[in-house]
Structure 1
Amino acid sequence: MIRKSLVGAVLAALALSGCAGTAQQDDAKAPQSQSTHNEADVTFARQMVPHHKQALDMAALVPDRTATAAVTDLATRIKKAQGPEIEQLDGWLARWGATPASAHAMPGMPSHESMGGMMSEADMAKLRAAKGAEFDRMWLTMMIGHHEGAVEMANAEIRDGADADAKALANRIIGAQQAEIAEMRKLLDGH
Protein backbone atom coordinates (compact mmCIF):
# COMPACT_ATOMS: atom_id res chain seq x y z
CA MET A 1 0.00 0.00 0.00
CA ILE A 2 2.83 2.38 0.87
CA ARG A 3 4.49 1.44 -2.40
CA LYS A 4 1.31 2.32 -4.40
CA SER A 5 1.05 5.67 -2.59
CA LEU A 6 4.71 6.41 -3.26
CA VAL A 7 4.35 5.57 -6.98
CA GLY A 8 1.19 7.70 -7.16
CA ALA A 9 2.94 10.62 -5.49
CA VAL A 10 5.91 10.37 -7.86
CA LEU A 11 3.60 10.25 -10.90
CA ALA A 12 1.63 13.23 -9.62
CA ALA A 13 4.85 15.18 -9.03
CA LEU A 14 6.08 14.39 -12.54
CA ALA A 15 2.77 15.42 -14.05
CA LEU A 16 2.79 18.71 -12.15
CA SER A 17 6.40 19.47 -13.06
CA GLY A 18 5.54 18.88 -16.72
CA CYS A 19 2.71 21.41 -16.44
CA ALA A 20 4.99 23.94 -14.80
CA GLY A 21 7.54 23.55 -17.58
CA THR A 22 4.86 24.18 -20.20
CA ALA A 23 3.67 27.29 -18.41
CA GLN A 24 7.23 28.63 -18.22
CA GLN A 25 7.75 27.95 -21.92
CA ASP A 26 4.49 29.73 -22.79
CA ASP A 27 5.55 32.71 -20.67
CA ALA A 28 8.88 32.84 -22.51
CA LYS A 29 7.05 33.12 -25.85
CA ALA A 30 4.80 35.95 -24.65
CA PRO A 31 5.96 39.49 -25.46
CA GLN A 32 7.74 41.17 -22.58
CA SER A 33 5.66 44.33 -22.81
CA GLN A 34 2.34 44.86 -24.45
CA SER A 35 2.39 47.55 -27.14
CA THR A 36 -0.36 50.09 -26.76
CA HIS A 37 -0.25 51.44 -30.30
CA ASN A 38 -3.10 51.37 -32.80
CA GLU A 39 -3.52 52.04 -36.52
CA ALA A 40 -3.87 55.80 -35.91
CA ASP A 41 -0.40 55.81 -34.32
CA VAL A 42 1.06 53.97 -37.33
CA THR A 43 -0.65 56.37 -39.75
CA PHE A 44 0.64 59.36 -37.78
CA ALA A 45 4.23 58.10 -37.93
CA ARG A 46 4.05 57.04 -41.58
CA GLN A 47 2.66 60.40 -42.65
CA MET A 48 4.73 62.62 -40.38
CA VAL A 49 8.06 61.16 -41.57
CA PRO A 50 7.74 62.28 -45.23
CA HIS A 51 6.05 65.48 -44.05
CA HIS A 52 9.03 66.33 -41.84
CA LYS A 53 11.46 65.28 -44.59
CA GLN A 54 9.87 67.79 -46.94
CA ALA A 55 10.22 70.48 -44.26
CA LEU A 56 13.93 69.59 -44.05
CA ASP A 57 14.19 69.85 -47.85
CA MET A 58 12.54 73.26 -47.72
CA ALA A 59 14.81 74.39 -44.87
CA ALA A 60 17.89 73.25 -46.82
CA LEU A 61 17.00 75.75 -49.58
CA VAL A 62 17.22 78.75 -47.26
CA PRO A 63 20.98 79.44 -46.92
CA ASP A 64 21.54 79.93 -50.67
CA ARG A 65 18.37 81.92 -51.33
CA THR A 66 17.81 84.40 -48.49
CA ALA A 67 19.69 87.21 -46.85
CA THR A 68 17.16 87.43 -44.02
CA ALA A 69 18.72 86.30 -40.73
CA ALA A 70 15.33 85.54 -39.14
CA VAL A 71 14.42 83.15 -41.98
CA THR A 72 17.82 81.47 -41.73
CA ASP A 73 17.42 81.11 -37.95
CA LEU A 74 13.95 79.61 -38.32
CA ALA A 75 15.13 77.12 -40.96
CA THR A 76 17.98 76.06 -38.67
CA ARG A 77 15.58 75.48 -35.77
CA ILE A 78 13.25 73.46 -38.00
CA LYS A 79 16.16 71.20 -39.02
CA LYS A 80 17.28 70.74 -35.41
CA ALA A 81 13.77 69.82 -34.23
CA GLN A 82 12.48 67.69 -37.06
CA GLY A 83 15.56 65.58 -37.82
CA PRO A 84 15.46 63.83 -34.42
CA GLU A 85 11.67 63.51 -34.64
CA ILE A 86 12.05 61.59 -37.91
CA GLU A 87 14.44 59.17 -36.19
CA GLN A 88 12.00 58.76 -33.30
CA LEU A 89 9.05 58.11 -35.64
CA ASP A 90 11.07 55.59 -37.68
CA GLY A 91 12.05 53.85 -34.43
CA TRP A 92 8.42 53.52 -33.39
CA LEU A 93 7.45 52.07 -36.76
CA ALA A 94 10.20 49.47 -36.39
CA ARG A 95 9.18 48.69 -32.80
CA TRP A 96 5.55 48.33 -33.85
CA GLY A 97 6.51 46.01 -36.72
CA ALA A 98 4.94 48.45 -39.19
CA THR A 99 6.15 49.08 -42.71
CA PRO A 100 8.43 52.12 -42.60
CA ALA A 101 7.39 55.42 -44.08
CA SER A 102 8.34 55.82 -47.71
CA ALA A 103 9.27 58.74 -49.88
CA HIS A 104 6.59 57.49 -52.27
CA ALA A 105 2.93 56.84 -51.62
CA MET A 106 2.10 53.26 -50.75
CA PRO A 107 -0.79 51.40 -52.39
CA GLY A 108 -3.98 52.07 -50.50
CA MET A 109 -2.54 55.18 -48.86
CA PRO A 110 -3.03 58.78 -49.97
CA SER A 111 -0.25 60.34 -52.00
CA HIS A 112 2.07 62.53 -49.98
CA GLU A 113 0.90 65.58 -51.92
CA SER A 114 -2.64 64.94 -50.66
CA MET A 115 -1.44 65.07 -47.03
CA GLY A 116 -2.14 68.36 -45.36
CA GLY A 117 0.43 71.02 -46.13
CA MET A 118 2.59 68.96 -48.49
CA MET A 119 4.04 70.87 -51.42
CA SER A 120 3.75 69.48 -54.91
CA GLU A 121 6.87 68.97 -56.99
CA ALA A 122 5.80 72.03 -59.02
CA ASP A 123 5.62 74.09 -55.80
CA MET A 124 9.07 72.88 -54.79
CA ALA A 125 10.45 73.75 -58.25
CA LYS A 126 9.09 77.31 -57.93
CA LEU A 127 10.62 77.59 -54.47
CA ARG A 128 14.01 76.35 -55.73
CA ALA A 129 13.92 78.95 -58.53
CA ALA A 130 13.17 81.92 -56.25
CA LYS A 131 15.72 84.19 -54.53
CA GLY A 132 15.77 87.08 -52.08
CA ALA A 133 12.52 88.68 -50.90
CA GLU A 134 10.48 86.62 -53.38
CA PHE A 135 11.95 83.42 -51.93
CA ASP A 136 11.31 84.60 -48.37
CA ARG A 137 7.63 85.34 -49.06
CA MET A 138 7.14 82.06 -50.92
CA TRP A 139 9.04 80.00 -48.34
CA LEU A 140 7.22 81.54 -45.37
CA THR A 141 3.81 81.12 -47.04
CA MET A 142 4.51 77.51 -48.00
CA MET A 143 5.99 76.66 -44.61
CA ILE A 144 2.95 78.11 -42.83
CA GLY A 145 0.72 75.80 -44.89
CA HIS A 146 3.12 72.94 -44.28
CA HIS A 147 3.07 73.51 -40.51
CA GLU A 148 -0.73 73.78 -40.51
CA GLY A 149 -0.84 70.34 -42.14
CA ALA A 150 1.44 68.93 -39.43
CA VAL A 151 -0.81 70.42 -36.75
CA GLU A 152 -3.82 68.70 -38.38
CA MET A 153 -2.00 65.34 -38.36
CA ALA A 154 -0.91 65.84 -34.76
CA ASN A 155 -4.46 66.69 -33.69
CA ALA A 156 -5.69 63.48 -35.36
CA GLU A 157 -3.05 61.52 -33.40
CA ILE A 158 -4.16 63.07 -30.12
CA ARG A 159 -7.80 62.34 -30.93
CA ASP A 160 -7.42 58.81 -32.33
CA GLY A 161 -4.02 57.45 -31.25
CA ALA A 162 -3.31 55.10 -28.35
CA ASP A 163 0.47 55.27 -27.87
CA ALA A 164 1.34 57.68 -25.04
CA ASP A 165 4.75 58.57 -26.54
CA ALA A 166 3.26 59.29 -29.97
CA LYS A 167 0.56 61.46 -28.42
CA ALA A 168 3.18 63.35 -26.39
CA LEU A 169 5.18 64.01 -29.58
CA ALA A 170 1.98 65.17 -31.29
CA ASN A 171 1.43 67.68 -28.47
CA ARG A 172 5.02 68.95 -28.80
CA ILE A 173 4.62 69.27 -32.58
CA ILE A 174 1.44 71.31 -32.13
CA GLY A 175 3.07 73.66 -29.62
CA ALA A 176 6.27 74.17 -31.60
CA GLN A 177 4.64 74.53 -34.99
CA GLN A 178 1.89 76.88 -33.84
CA ALA A 179 4.57 79.12 -32.32
CA GLU A 180 6.54 78.97 -35.59
CA ILE A 181 3.38 79.76 -37.60
CA ALA A 182 2.89 82.91 -35.50
CA GLU A 183 6.56 83.83 -36.01
CA MET A 184 6.32 83.28 -39.78
CA ARG A 185 3.18 85.41 -40.02
CA LYS A 186 5.04 88.27 -38.31
CA LEU A 187 7.95 87.84 -40.72
CA LEU A 188 5.54 87.91 -43.67
CA ASP A 189 3.98 91.12 -42.38
CA GLY A 190 7.47 92.65 -42.47
CA HIS A 191 8.00 91.73 -46.14
Structure 2
Amino acid sequence: MKNVIKLLLALVIVSVFASCKKNADEIKIQPHDQNQMMGIMHQMMAKMDTMKMTKDPDNDFAMMMRIHHQGAIDMANLEIKSGSDATMKQMAQSIIASQQEEITQVTAFLKSHTAHLNDPDFDMMIMDNMSKSGKQADLQIINGDIDHDFAILMIGHHQSAVENSRLELLHGQEPSMKTMATNIIDAQLKEIDQFQSWLLARGNK
Protein backbone atom coordinates (compact mmCIF):
# COMPACT_ATOMS: atom_id res chain seq x y z
CA MET A 1 0.00 0.00 0.00
CA LYS A 2 2.81 2.40 0.92
CA ASN A 3 4.51 1.71 -2.39
CA VAL A 4 1.28 2.50 -4.22
CA ILE A 5 0.96 5.81 -2.37
CA LYS A 6 4.56 6.70 -3.13
CA LEU A 7 3.99 5.89 -6.80
CA LEU A 8 0.89 8.07 -6.92
CA LEU A 9 2.72 10.96 -5.25
CA ALA A 10 5.57 10.63 -7.72
CA LEU A 11 3.12 10.74 -10.63
CA VAL A 12 1.46 13.86 -9.19
CA ILE A 13 4.82 15.61 -8.79
CA VAL A 14 5.87 14.73 -12.32
CA SER A 15 2.52 15.99 -13.63
CA VAL A 16 2.86 19.31 -11.75
CA PHE A 17 6.40 19.89 -13.03
CA ALA A 18 5.33 19.03 -16.56
CA SER A 19 2.43 21.47 -16.33
CA CYS A 20 4.68 24.23 -14.99
CA LYS A 21 7.21 23.61 -17.74
CA LYS A 22 4.47 23.72 -20.37
CA ASN A 23 3.15 27.04 -19.02
CA ALA A 24 6.67 28.47 -18.89
CA ASP A 25 7.29 27.38 -22.46
CA GLU A 26 4.11 29.20 -23.54
CA ILE A 27 5.28 32.56 -22.12
CA LYS A 28 7.21 34.38 -24.81
CA ILE A 29 9.31 37.42 -23.97
CA GLN A 30 11.14 39.70 -26.38
CA PRO A 31 13.95 41.98 -25.17
CA HIS A 32 12.71 45.58 -25.04
CA ASP A 33 15.55 46.90 -27.19
CA GLN A 34 14.42 44.57 -29.98
CA ASN A 35 10.72 45.47 -29.78
CA GLN A 36 9.26 47.91 -32.31
CA MET A 37 6.42 49.18 -30.10
CA MET A 38 8.77 49.73 -27.19
CA GLY A 39 11.14 51.60 -29.47
CA ILE A 40 8.36 54.09 -30.24
CA MET A 41 7.62 54.47 -26.53
CA HIS A 42 11.27 55.20 -25.77
CA GLN A 43 11.47 57.78 -28.57
CA MET A 44 8.37 59.51 -27.19
CA MET A 45 9.77 59.56 -23.64
CA ALA A 46 13.06 60.99 -24.89
CA LYS A 47 11.23 63.86 -26.63
CA MET A 48 9.23 64.66 -23.51
CA ASP A 49 12.37 64.65 -21.38
CA THR A 50 13.85 67.42 -23.54
CA MET A 51 10.68 69.54 -23.65
CA LYS A 52 11.23 73.07 -22.35
CA MET A 53 8.66 73.67 -19.63
CA THR A 54 7.02 77.08 -19.15
CA LYS A 55 5.48 76.54 -15.67
CA ASP A 56 2.10 77.45 -17.20
CA PRO A 57 -0.09 74.32 -16.71
CA ASP A 58 -2.23 74.93 -19.81
CA ASN A 59 0.77 75.43 -22.09
CA ASP A 60 2.78 72.58 -20.63
CA PHE A 61 -0.20 70.22 -20.73
CA ALA A 62 -0.72 71.12 -24.40
CA MET A 63 2.96 70.63 -25.28
CA MET A 64 3.17 67.36 -23.36
CA MET A 65 0.01 65.92 -24.87
CA ARG A 66 1.10 66.86 -28.40
CA ILE A 67 4.20 64.67 -28.00
CA HIS A 68 2.25 62.01 -26.10
CA HIS A 69 -0.48 61.82 -28.76
CA GLN A 70 2.09 61.58 -31.55
CA GLY A 71 3.59 58.58 -29.78
CA ALA A 72 0.16 56.91 -29.74
CA ILE A 73 -0.31 57.69 -33.44
CA ASP A 74 3.08 56.21 -34.30
CA MET A 75 2.22 53.04 -32.37
CA ALA A 76 -1.20 52.86 -34.04
CA ASN A 77 0.38 53.24 -37.48
CA LEU A 78 2.69 50.32 -36.70
CA GLU A 79 -0.34 48.26 -35.62
CA ILE A 80 -2.13 49.02 -38.88
CA LYS A 81 0.99 48.22 -40.92
CA SER A 82 2.15 45.06 -39.16
CA GLY A 83 -0.67 43.84 -36.91
CA SER A 84 -3.10 41.08 -37.87
CA ASP A 85 -6.07 41.44 -35.51
CA ALA A 86 -9.10 43.28 -36.91
CA THR A 87 -10.17 44.64 -33.52
CA MET A 88 -6.75 46.11 -32.78
CA LYS A 89 -6.52 47.61 -36.26
CA GLN A 90 -9.92 49.24 -35.78
CA MET A 91 -8.86 50.67 -32.43
CA ALA A 92 -5.65 51.93 -34.00
CA GLN A 93 -7.64 53.76 -36.69
CA SER A 94 -9.85 55.34 -34.04
CA ILE A 95 -6.82 56.46 -32.00
CA ILE A 96 -5.20 58.05 -35.04
CA ALA A 97 -8.35 59.99 -35.93
CA SER A 98 -9.10 61.28 -32.42
CA GLN A 99 -5.55 62.07 -31.36
CA GLN A 100 -4.60 63.75 -34.65
CA GLU A 101 -7.61 66.03 -34.19
CA GLU A 102 -6.47 66.88 -30.66
CA ILE A 103 -2.90 67.54 -31.87
CA THR A 104 -4.36 70.07 -34.30
CA GLN A 105 -6.31 71.69 -31.44
CA VAL A 106 -3.35 71.95 -29.03
CA THR A 107 -1.09 73.26 -31.79
CA ALA A 108 -3.59 76.06 -32.51
CA PHE A 109 -3.86 76.76 -28.79
CA LEU A 110 -0.10 77.04 -28.35
CA LYS A 111 0.14 79.46 -31.28
CA SER A 112 -2.49 81.75 -29.78
CA HIS A 113 -1.80 81.44 -26.04
CA THR A 114 1.11 83.08 -24.26
CA ALA A 115 2.31 81.33 -21.12
CA HIS A 116 1.61 83.57 -18.13
CA LEU A 117 0.97 81.36 -15.11
CA ASN A 118 3.70 80.23 -12.69
CA ASP A 119 2.92 76.79 -11.26
CA PRO A 120 6.16 74.80 -10.93
CA ASP A 121 4.33 72.13 -8.91
CA PHE A 122 2.32 71.19 -12.00
CA ASP A 123 5.48 70.68 -14.04
CA MET A 124 7.02 68.57 -11.31
CA MET A 125 3.93 66.37 -11.01
CA ILE A 126 3.41 65.91 -14.74
CA MET A 127 7.05 64.95 -15.26
CA ASP A 128 6.80 62.56 -12.32
CA ASN A 129 3.77 60.96 -13.99
CA MET A 130 5.69 60.48 -17.21
CA SER A 131 8.69 59.03 -15.38
CA LYS A 132 6.44 56.49 -13.66
CA SER A 133 4.80 55.68 -17.00
CA GLY A 134 8.18 55.03 -18.59
CA LYS A 135 9.23 52.72 -15.76
CA GLN A 136 5.94 50.84 -15.94
CA ALA A 137 6.35 50.34 -19.68
CA ASP A 138 9.82 48.92 -19.10
CA LEU A 139 8.30 46.37 -16.70
CA GLN A 140 5.76 45.07 -19.21
CA ILE A 141 6.11 41.59 -20.69
CA ILE A 142 6.17 42.04 -24.46
CA ASN A 143 6.61 39.22 -26.94
CA GLY A 144 7.02 40.73 -30.40
CA ASP A 145 3.41 40.03 -31.37
CA ILE A 146 2.35 43.45 -32.70
CA ASP A 147 -1.29 43.12 -31.66
CA HIS A 148 -0.44 42.04 -28.11
CA ASP A 149 2.31 44.63 -27.64
CA PHE A 150 0.13 47.42 -29.02
CA ALA A 151 -2.65 46.57 -26.54
CA ILE A 152 -0.45 46.09 -23.49
CA LEU A 153 1.59 49.26 -24.05
CA MET A 154 -1.38 51.44 -24.98
CA ILE A 155 -2.99 50.65 -21.62
CA GLY A 156 -0.10 52.27 -19.78
CA HIS A 157 0.14 55.02 -22.38
CA HIS A 158 -3.53 55.90 -21.90
CA GLN A 159 -3.27 55.71 -18.10
CA SER A 160 -0.54 58.35 -18.08
CA ALA A 161 -2.67 60.58 -20.35
CA VAL A 162 -5.58 60.22 -17.92
CA GLU A 163 -3.37 61.14 -14.94
CA ASN A 164 -1.96 64.18 -16.75
CA SER A 165 -5.45 65.27 -17.76
CA ARG A 166 -6.60 65.09 -14.14
CA LEU A 167 -3.70 67.38 -13.20
CA GLU A 168 -4.81 69.82 -15.93
CA LEU A 169 -8.31 69.89 -14.45
CA LEU A 170 -6.84 70.75 -11.05
CA HIS A 171 -4.22 73.30 -12.14
CA GLY A 172 -5.26 74.63 -15.55
CA GLN A 173 -7.35 77.72 -16.23
CA GLU A 174 -8.05 77.71 -19.96
CA PRO A 175 -11.53 76.27 -20.77
CA SER A 176 -10.39 74.69 -24.04
CA MET A 177 -7.61 72.71 -22.37
CA LYS A 178 -9.81 71.68 -19.45
CA THR A 179 -12.47 70.49 -21.91
CA MET A 180 -9.84 68.51 -23.80
CA ALA A 181 -8.61 66.98 -20.53
CA THR A 182 -12.16 65.86 -19.70
CA ASN A 183 -12.58 64.35 -23.17
CA ILE A 184 -9.25 62.51 -22.89
CA ILE A 185 -10.23 61.01 -19.54
CA ASP A 186 -13.62 59.81 -20.82
CA ALA A 187 -12.35 58.40 -24.13
CA GLN A 188 -9.18 56.78 -22.93
CA LEU A 189 -10.69 55.10 -19.88
CA LYS A 190 -13.13 53.40 -22.27
CA GLU A 191 -10.28 52.35 -24.55
CA ILE A 192 -8.29 51.00 -21.60
CA ASP A 193 -11.25 48.77 -20.76
CA GLN A 194 -11.43 47.59 -24.39
CA PHE A 195 -7.71 46.77 -24.48
CA GLN A 196 -7.94 44.91 -21.16
CA SER A 197 -10.95 42.87 -22.28
CA TRP A 198 -9.22 41.95 -25.54
CA LEU A 199 -6.08 40.82 -23.74
CA LEU A 200 -8.03 38.78 -21.17
CA ALA A 201 -10.00 37.06 -23.93
CA ARG A 202 -6.69 35.97 -25.50
CA GLY A 203 -5.15 34.90 -22.20
CA ASN A 204 -2.80 37.92 -22.40
CA LYS A 205 -0.92 36.34 -25.33
The TM-score, its normalising length taken from structure 1, stands at: 0.64
Percent of residue pairs bearing the same amino acid type: 32
Query: Shift in Å at residue 188 of structure 1?
Result: 0.5
- Structure 1 residues 87 and 153 mapped into 2: Cα distance closer, same or farther (>3 Å)? same
Structure 1 residue aligned with 2:83:
66
- Structure 1 residues 116 and 146 mapped into 2: Cα distance closer, same or farther (>3 Å)? farther
Q: How many residues align?
A: 138
- Map 1:170-189 to 2 at 5 A: 170-189=181-200
Query: Shift in Å at residue 97 of structure 1?
Result: 3.0
What is the RMSD computed on CA atoms of the aligned residues? 2.9
The TM-score, its normalising length taken from structure 2, stands at: 0.60
- Map 1:85-164 to 2 at 5 A: 85-98=102-115, 115=130, 130=144, 134-164=145-175
Give yes or no for the alignment of 1:80 onto 2:106.
no
* Unaligned 5+ runs, structure 1: 1-37, 99-107
Letter in 2 for 1:135: I
* Unaligned 5+ runs, structure 2: 1-54, 116-122
SS in 2 for 1:157: helix
Query: Shift in Å at residue 114 of structure 1?
Result: 7.0
Q: Structure 1 runs of 4+ off > 4 angstroms?
A: 108-114, 116-120
Q: Which structure would you say has the larger Rg? A: 1
> Within 2, Cα distance between the matches of 1:113 and 1:74?
28
Letter in 2 for 1:180: E
